């Protein structure tokens, strides 16, 4: 049997034809598609593509919010041996242009929410026969087609494509059957462009076999994903993580995959998360640290508004739960667990249970995409909603390791999947347990390479081993610990190096004033930081404390950077030389719009450094810190005290 994701669909459709596997919200109600319907509709889409002149090997962009049509389109193109180029809805038009031209795409499936981004660059596409396949036949789409004078032969509506394929399916079926026989597990099915946190994006070429192994092993490794349960897709569907752990997993097991209601665009989607969680009651969620961090902050904000008794019981219960759980792999002795269980159990019954219900009663989340602060893991475990941290790269399709309910160690990214071999390398030598070096992996999940970039491919894959560019170690129990990106290292004047991610996440977790922080040291005498304030929290703090002086506020913010030291487990964790000796307040958040965050909410460090180069240089040279203090006071006055620069 060829190891293809198409086999996931055909196998599940034959076993569970009536099971509703895909749901999205239209006209205010959830509309579901059965596995039999998905199999049939994707056959019609494949036929429609052939009837419209598309052929095997061609590439198709996909730009849309997560929805049933996305999955149908992707499986339809795979059935003609096509390739998908998933695109983030947060890309700028010029970024979409680069990816479509570089990948040599022949068409793009696109929703009305993001159609205008494509129309802005349509005339700049190198493929003169490029086609638009429009998911939505609505007023907004027609208005945009008219506004940009798009000729009729440049587009086709998705529903019409399906209708064409259906009406002439029997005629085209022999051709589809012939193509199906030619499909190989080594065929490239997705070219996913990296988010470019440390440089230009590269097209990661992934095969059927890559995803087949990664999906099947992730499910078997995790175990606790019962058939016919539900999940809500909150993460953007263009990510390899979402493809493996939601789209392909849902079809293989099968599960009911609900797509976040994104009608009206990204802002509506964010507002719909709480409502959709309550409606769907998912068994689990895929998350990134930024999302669980947002959940945690909202919970804490809500608790701060409660009476003193509730606040005390909540905090005491969380602390007791953290002590009771240990690191999940190693727990306190039975007597201590019993002692901690009493206050934790009371808080759970009176408070935590209500919080879980308000979040939709999901059992756990699986987190990837960036460093997950240890306190977040401890907090949610105590709350009764474990966050199982994993680790992966698009280049490994993507999962390398993950914690599970059966093998869980907080502070790590879990044990590697069975077929994923992991080594830690430094200066060409393989290291032993607890020794830090570069993480390198091999196995059937490793990409074919970067599209049209043999130089980058040769740098990344050596003798079958993928060099991740990430630093970490395997501990004595076989759990992988990731400490940061090699290219994101802090470098002191004497050449010593240190990864900043853990410090950044710890500072954020313990300082309610700070929503984002980037540490920087490039042979400086000390480490500096660019920080983004949580403006809502700062405004509430000013109101409650009646501070009316920017100097006082600046001192409080400065002190909050070391709040983590109150935790005895963290008091001496980080060497002083890597803690920020000074900082500058960013006038705006790091975001995808200003290219300082990528689509997984990771900081794009080189763009932040570029944007704040003058401030960083000032901090490095201003040993008395007078200039940067003056700058910070100005920012605080303008933001919170309505004092403009004269």
For position 447, what pLDDT does the model report? 98
For the segment 52-79, the average pLDDT, to the nearest whole number, is 97
* Cα(79)–Cα(73) distance, integer angstroms: 10
Please check the confidence at residue 319 and state whether its pLDDT lies above 90: yes
- The mean pLDDT value of the chain amounts to 93
Least confident of 99-113, 119-133, 406-420, 483-497: 483-497
Equal CATH topology for 5-183+223-273 and 489-640: no
Which CATH number fits the domain 489-640, given the four candidates 3.40.50.300, 3.30.300.30, 3.30.1330.20, 1.10.10.10? 3.30.300.30
Q: What's the pLDDT tens digit per position in 390-417?
A: 999 999 999 999 999 999 999 999 999 9
* Cα(326)–Cα(378) distance, integer angstroms: 9
Least confident of 81-85, 193-197, 398-402, 545-549: 193-197
At residue 187, φ and ψ (nearest 5 deg) are: -65, 140
Q: 3-class SS at 482?
A: strand
Residues 6+ apart with CB under 8 A from 153: none
Please check the confidence at residue 197 and state whether its pLDDT lies above 60: no
Give residue 198's pLDDT band: very low, low, confident or very high (50, 70, 90). very low
Please check the confidence at residue 487 and state whether its pLDDT lies above 80: no
Q: Which of 13, 14, 32, 12 is nearest to 23 (CA)?
A: 32
Please check the confidence at residue 645 and state whether its pLDDT lies above 70: no
* Cα(231)–Cα(225) distance, integer angstroms: 10
Q: What CATH class does 5-183+223-273 carry?
A: alpha beta
At residue 132, φ and ψ (nearest 5 deg) are: -100, 130
* Cα(295)–Cα(293) distance, integer angstroms: 5
Please check the confidence at residue 348 and state whether its pLDDT lies above 70: yes
Q: Which of 366, 350, 342, 443 is nearest to 400 (CA)?
A: 443
Give residue 196's pLDDT band: very low, low, confident or very high (50, 70, 90). low
For position 26, what pLDDT does the model report? 86
> What percent of the chain stands above pLDDT 90?
79
Angle, helices 169-182 vs 158-167, to 10°: value is: 100
For position 646, what pLDDT does the model report? 42
For the segment 325-350, the average pLDDT, to the nearest whole number, is 96
For position 613, what pLDDT does the model report? 92
Q: 3-class SS at 178?
A: helix
For position 644, what pLDDT does the model report? 58
Q: Which of 527, 525, 459, 536 is nearest to 493 (CA)?
A: 525
For position 643, what pLDDT does the model report? 67
| Domain extent listing, the chain | 5-183+223-273, 287-443+482-486, 489-640
Highest mean pLDDT among 161-165, 235-239, 629-633: 161-165
For the segment 81-85, the average pLDDT, to the nearest whole number, is 98
Which tokens go with 191? 């070219």
For position 522, what pLDDT does the model report? 86
Angle, helices 289-304 vs 308-325, to 10°: value is: 140
Please check the confidence at residue 219 and state whether its pLDDT lies above 90: yes
For position 207, what pLDDT does the model report? 98
For position 102, what pLDDT does the model report? 96
* Cα(315)–Cα(382) distance, integer angstroms: 11
- In terms of Cβ atoms closer than 10 Å to its own Cβ (0-12, 13-18, 19+), residue 338 is exposed
For position 372, what pLDDT does the model report? 85
DSSP secondary structure of 239-297: SHHHIIIIIIHHHHTT-EEEEP--TT-HHHHHHHHHHHHHHH--SEEEE-HHHHHHHHH
Which tokens go with 136? 């939505």
């Amino acid at each position: 049997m060829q190891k293809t994701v198409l086999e996931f669909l055909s196998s599940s459709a034959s076993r569970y034809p009536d099971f509703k596997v895909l749901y999205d919200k239209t006209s205010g109600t959830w509309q579901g598609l059965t596995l039999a319907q998905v199999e049939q509709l994707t056959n019609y889409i494949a036929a429609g593509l052939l009837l419209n002149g598309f052929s095997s090997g061609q590439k198709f962009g996909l730009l849309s919010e997560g929805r049933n049509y996305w999955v149908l389109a992707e499986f339809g193109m795979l059935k003609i041996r096509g390739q998908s180029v998933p695109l983030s809805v947060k890309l700028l038009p010029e970024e979409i242009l680069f990816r479509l031209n570089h990948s040599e795409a022949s068409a793009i499936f696109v929703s009305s929410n993001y159609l205008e981004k494509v129309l802005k660059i349509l005339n700049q596409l190198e493929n003169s026969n490029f086609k638009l396949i429009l998911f939505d036949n609505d007023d907004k789409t027609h208005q945009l087609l008219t506004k940009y004078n798009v000729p009729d032969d440049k587009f086709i509506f998705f529903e019409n494509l399906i209708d064409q394929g259906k009406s002439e399916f029997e005629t085209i079926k022999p051709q589809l059957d012939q193509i199906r026989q030619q499909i190989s597990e080594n065929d490239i099915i997705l070219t996913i462009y990296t988010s470019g946190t440390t440089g230009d994006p590269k097209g990661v070429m992934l095969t059927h076999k890559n995803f087949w192994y990664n999906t099947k092993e992730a499910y078997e490794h995790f175990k606790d994903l019962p058939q016919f349960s539900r999940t809500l897709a909150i993460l953007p569907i263009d990510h390899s993580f979402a493809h493996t752990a939601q789209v392909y997993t849902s079809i293989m097991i099968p599960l009911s995959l609900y797509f976040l209601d994104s009608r009206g665009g990204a802002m509506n989607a964010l507002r719909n998360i709480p409502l959709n969680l309550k409606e769907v009651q998912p068994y689990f969620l895929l998350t990134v640290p930024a999302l669980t961090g947002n959940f945690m902050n909202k919970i804490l904000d809500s608790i701060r508004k409660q009476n003193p008794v509730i606040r005390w019981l909540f905090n005491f219960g969380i602390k007791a739960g953290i002590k009771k759980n240990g690191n999940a792999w190693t727990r306190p002795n039975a007597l201590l667990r019993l002692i901690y269980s009493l206050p934790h159990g009371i808080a759970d019954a009176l408070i935590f249970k209500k919080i879980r219900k308000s979040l939709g009663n999901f059992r756990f989340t699986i987190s990837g995409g960036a460093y997950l602060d240890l306190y977040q893991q401890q907090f949610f475990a105590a709350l009764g909603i474990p966050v199982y941290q994993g680790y992966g790269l698009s280049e490994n399709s993507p999962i390398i390791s993950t914690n599970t309910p059966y093998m869980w160690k907080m502070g790590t990214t879990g044990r590697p999947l069975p077929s994923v071999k992991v080594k830690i390398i430094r200066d060409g030598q393989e290291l032993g347990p607890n020794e830090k070096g570069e993480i390198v992996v091999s196995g059937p999940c490793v990409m074919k390479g970067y599209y049209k970039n043999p130089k980058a491919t040769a740098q990344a894959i050596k003798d079958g081993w993928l060099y991740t560019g990430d630093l970490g170690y395997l501990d004595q129990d076989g759990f992988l610990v990731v400490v940061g990106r090699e290219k994101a290292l802090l470098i002191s004047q004497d050449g010593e190096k240190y990864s900043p991610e853990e410090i950044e996440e710890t500072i954020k977790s313990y300082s309610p004033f700070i929503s984002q922080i980037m540490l920087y040291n490039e042979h400086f005498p000390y480490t500096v930081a660019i920080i983004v304030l949580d403006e809502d929290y700062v405004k509430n703090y000013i109101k409650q404390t009646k501070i009316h002086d920017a100097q006082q506020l600046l001192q409080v913010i400065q002190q909050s950077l070391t709040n983590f030291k109150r935790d005895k487990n963290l008091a001496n964790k980080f060497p002083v030389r890597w803690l920020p000796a000074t900082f500058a307040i960013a006038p705006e958040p790091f975001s995808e719009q200003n290219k300082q965050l990528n689509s997984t909410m990771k900081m794009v460090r080189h763009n932040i450094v570029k944007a704040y180069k003058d401030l960083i240089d000032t901090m490095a040279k201003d040993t008395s810190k007078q200039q940067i203090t003056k700058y910070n006071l100005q920012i605080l006055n303008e933001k919170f005290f309505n004092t403009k620069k004269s």
